[in-house]
Amino acid sequence: MTRTDDQNYDNRPDGVSKQNWTNLVDYWYSPEFQKLSKLGKDARASLGYAHFSGATRFANRRAELEDANNKVKECLASSSSKSRVDIEVFNDLMYNGE
C-alpha cells in the first residue's frame, strides 16, 4: 500500500518541525535517494549473511564478551562453586554488580 504525499506529510513524528519533515519526505521520494536506497538494498542482499548485533558495534560487543570471559575466569579462580560463579558473573554483567 502506498501513501499519498499528503498522508506522508501528515505522519510527522512529535518533535520534528513541519518544514524539516516535509524536506525529509521529499528527499526520501527523490530519484537520488531511491537510487541510493536500491544500491544499499542490493549491497546488503549480496553479503550472504545477516548481522544481529543491533546498534552495538562489533568491536564493542567483542570487548564486552572479553570482559565477561575475564570475569568468569576471575570468579572461577576465587570460588569453588560453579553455580555461584554463574550467578556472580550474571549479576555483574546484567546489573553492574548491584
Distance from C-alpha of 66 to C-alpha of 13, rounded to nearest angstrom? 39
Q: Does the predicted TM-score (pTM) go above 0.75?
A: no
Q: pLDDT per residue over 50-98, tens digit each?
A: 767 677 777 888 888 888 888 777 877 776 666 666 777 777 777 765 5
How far is it, in rounded angstroms, from Cα 31 to Cα 28? 8
